[in-house]
Amino acid sequence: MGILEVKNVNKRFGGLQALGDVNLSVAENTCHAIIGPNGAGKSTLLNCLIGKLIPDTGSVMFDGQSVLGRKPHEINQMGISRVFQTPEIFGDLTVFENVMIPCFAKRDGAFRMHAIESVAAETDIVDQAESMLAEVNMLEKRDIVASSLSRGDKRRLEMAMCLSQTPKLLLLDEPTAGMARADTNNTIELLKQIKARRDITMCIIEHDMHVVFSLADRITVLAQGTPLVEDTPDKIKGHPKVREAYLGE
């Protein structure tokens, strides 16, 4: 049994079958990549895992519990966090303030805007926020306003915000989309570090094969809403069906 078990999931948008009988099993503490051409249904599948979409049929089990019918914030509390294509951070706040928000939310069950004077007294939050920033190598940038960070640093900050929720499963939808090569490589190194240090499972949607082959333990190829093949990166690289359907050979 994987930590994430998707069984016979179907999703239609009007006449379009976006997902057709998707089965997916993600083993705990692995990185599982989902690849496939544009429109294959990757984001739709991810949205079914986080409660943004409800499958027409099928089941999605996480850590032994069904996620179906739960709201996105409830699924988040179960231990699933996600990272979108565009980093979701608060541009007007500093790096440190950004990370404190999910720390407060986790401790208090709600966002609380604090006067700066009172924050220093919240030593547990300050310690936690500092350790999250240290984990993503951003401690020295703590007082920078988030909007002025590079793309790669914005991603780092977002990762620190995610990690402060101590997720068991991290879902990443094209985390390096639009990044320069240096930022992409930094993001790969960051994800490798996180994977090595924590008990965490990752499920990553990614177009960049360099990223996929650097991180994934297993790869599922999705084509027209249905898994075409699932295997290790080495096997996927040489698979004739994959070369034909995905790499266009």
Give the residues lining the site for ligand ADP (CB under 6 A): 13, 16, 18, 36, 38-44
How far separated are the first and last CA of the chain, in Å rounded? 35
3-state secondary structure (DSSP) of residue 187: helix
Closest distance to Mg ion from the beta carbon of 35 (Å): 11
Closest distance to Mg ion from the beta carbon of 170 (Å): 17
List 19, 24, 43, 89, residue binding Mg ion (CB under 5 A): 43
Residue 36 interacting partner from ligand ADP, Mg ion, none (CB closer than 5 to 8 Å by kind): ligand ADP
3-state secondary structure (DSSP) of residue 185: helix
Binding flag, residue 186, Mg ion (CB under 5 A): no
State how far the Cα of 222 lies from the Cα of 51, in Å rounded to an integer: 20
Closest distance to ligand ADP from the beta carbon of 228 (Å): 13
User: Cα 206 vs. chain centroid, distance in angstroms?
Assistant: 11
Residue 13 interacting partner from Mg ion, ligand ADP, none (CB closer than 5 to 8 Å by kind): ligand ADP
State how far the Cα of 90 lies from the Cα of 125, in Å rounded to an integer: 18
- From the list 89, 74, 206, the residue with the least C-alpha distance to 157 is 89
State how far the Cα of 98 lies from the Cα of 103, in Å rounded to an integer: 9
State how far the Cα of 233 lies from the Cα of 216, in Å rounded to an integer: 7
Site string for Mg ion, 3-42 (x = CB under 5 A): ---------------------------------------x
Residue 236 interacting partner from Mg ion, ligand ADP, none (CB closer than 5 to 8 Å by kind): none
Q: Which positions lie near Mg ion, rule CB under 5 A?
A: 42-43
